[in-house]
């Protein structure tokens, strides 16, 4: 890995870690989702990075891909379990990290299950290790706390302007002869639940990504394509779009989705309504891994 590339990853990781830790104090009962995510995204930019994706605030049985809409007035409530998932990029080099801010004393061990699974998985990471061994550690650690790993959410590789590349890092045991390679950048991302151990798409989509540019008639749709194209393939939120009218935004988004211009990041819920915790770090695979988001 070239020094400039490594430096950009490390800088992105430092920013991501700082804002992740700050979010522990930002997330409090009575505070609005919008206020929380906008404050975190501003911190990213003020620190010299850019959001690699909209800050996710996924609460209770919602596992991932939730971010506020324009004019959202939802607030954090007492006893919520709040996952904050943060992505930062510096010149396209991405650090991805997450924390569960737990406001419910009944779920302390659920949060520990995901955090411990992350810690134990990182201990086995080095070049030549079977990827399946990392996944086995995650599953066994979470089950050791009496919970289930979510079997259809995974960690993932990271490349420049690419959030999800090889390798996929399952949170459950699987058979594979794939081995980790030196200098790979991977995000390990355990999810633990007291539900069924599986997520499903909800009906809501608030985050999108550009698949390909196509000609469209709608002026707002063209603006959205141009905006998405400026992000070099990284996801964006409905609330980021530089269009004042929510009605016009949603009309244009519907056209773009129907034409296959955009990828939908559906809000993901635990299939049986279980509570969900999450923990995540990004690391560079070495004999002693560089945890850039620590």
Q: Are 167 and 127 in contact (CB under 8 A)?
A: no
* pLDDT value at residue 97: 98
Measured torsion, CA atoms of residues 239, 87, 151, 193, in degrees rounded to the nearest 10:
-80
**What stretches of the chain adopt beta strand conformation (E)?**
50-51, 56-59, 62-64, 81-90, 93-102, 148-149, 154-159, 162-170, 185-188, 191-193, 199-210, 236-237, 262-270, 276-278, 281-284, 290-291
DSSP 240: G
Q: Which residue has the tokens 């003020």?
A: 46
Give kind and range of the element (H or E) at residue 22: helix 3-26
Q: Domain 3-201+269-291: give its CATH code.
A: 3.90.230.10
Give the chain's residues under pLDDT 70. Answer: none
Where does residue 93 rank: exposed (0-12), middle (13-18), buried (19+ CB within 10 A)?
A: buried
* pLDDT value at residue 3: 92
pLDDT in tens, 183-200: 999 999 999 999 999 999
Q: Are 65 and 56 in contact (CB under 8 A)?
A: yes
Edge-to-edge, what's the strand order for the sheet holding 62-64?
62-64, 262-270, 199-210, 236-237
Catalytic residues: 85, 96, 156, 164, 189, 280
What number of other Cβ atoms are within 10 A of residue 128's Cβ?
10
Q: Please, what is the end-to-end C-alpha distance for the chain in angstroms?
A: 20
Whole-angstrom distance, CA of residue 214 vs CA of residue 89: 27
Q: Are 139 and 171 in contact (CB under 8 A)?
A: yes
Distance of CA 20 to the CA centre of its chain: 12
- In the chain, list all ranges with CATH 3.90.230.10: 3-201+269-291
- Find out if CATH 1.10.10.10 is the number for domain 206-268: yes
Exposed e or buried b for every residue in 207-219, given b needs 16+ CB within 10 A? Answer: bbbbbeeeebeee
- In the chain, list all ranges with CATH 1.10.10.10: 206-268
Edge-to-edge, what's the strand order for the sheet holding 281-284?
162-170, 154-159, 185-188, 281-284, 290-291
Whole-angstrom distance, CA of residue 193 vs CA of residue 171: 12
* pLDDT value at residue 1: 87
CA geometry: angle 228, 163, 187, nearest 5 deg? 155
Helix, strand, or coil (residue 127) = coil
Query: What's the whole-model pTM score?
Result: 0.96
* pLDDT value at residue 217: 87
Q: Of the candidates 87, 91, 113, 89, which has an alpha carbon nearest to the alpha carbon of residue 102?
A: 113
């Amino acid at each position: 890995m070239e020094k400039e590339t490594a430096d950009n990853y490390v800088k992105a990781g430092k920013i991501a870690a700082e804002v992740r830790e700050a979010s522990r104090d930002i997330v409090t009962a009575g505070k609005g989702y919008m206020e929380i995510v906008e404050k975190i995204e501003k911190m990213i930019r003020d620190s010299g990075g850019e959001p690699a994706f909209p800050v996710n605030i996924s609460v209770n049985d919602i596992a991932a891909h939730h971010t506020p809409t324009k004019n959202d007035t939802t607030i954090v409530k007492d006893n919520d379990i709040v996952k904050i998932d943060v992505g930062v990029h510096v010149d396209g080099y991405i650090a991805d990290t997450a924390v569960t801010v737990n406001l419910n004393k009944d779920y302390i061990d659920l949060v520990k299950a995901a955090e411990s699974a992350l810690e134990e998985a990182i201990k086995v990471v080095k070049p030549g290790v079977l990827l399946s061994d990392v996944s086995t550690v995650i599953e066994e650690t979470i089950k050791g706390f009496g919970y289930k790993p979510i079997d259809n959410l995974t960690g993932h590789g990271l490349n420049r302007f690419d959030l999800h590349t090889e390798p996929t890092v399952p949170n459950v045991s699987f058979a594979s002869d794939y081995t980790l390679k030196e200098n790979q950048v991977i995000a390990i991302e355990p999810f633990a639940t007291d539900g069924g151990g599986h997520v499903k798409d909800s009906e809501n989509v608030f985050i999108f990504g550009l698949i390909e540019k196509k000609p469209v008639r709608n002026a707002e749709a063209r603006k959205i394509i141009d905006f998405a194209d400026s992000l070099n393939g990284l996801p964006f939120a409905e609330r980021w779009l530089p269009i004042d009218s929510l009605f016009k935004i949603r009309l244009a988004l519907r056209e773009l989705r129907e034409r296959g211009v955009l990828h939908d990041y559906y809000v993901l819920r635990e299939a049986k309504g279980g509570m969900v915790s999450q923990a995540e770090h990004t690391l560079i695979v070495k004999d002693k891994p560089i945890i850039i988001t620590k």
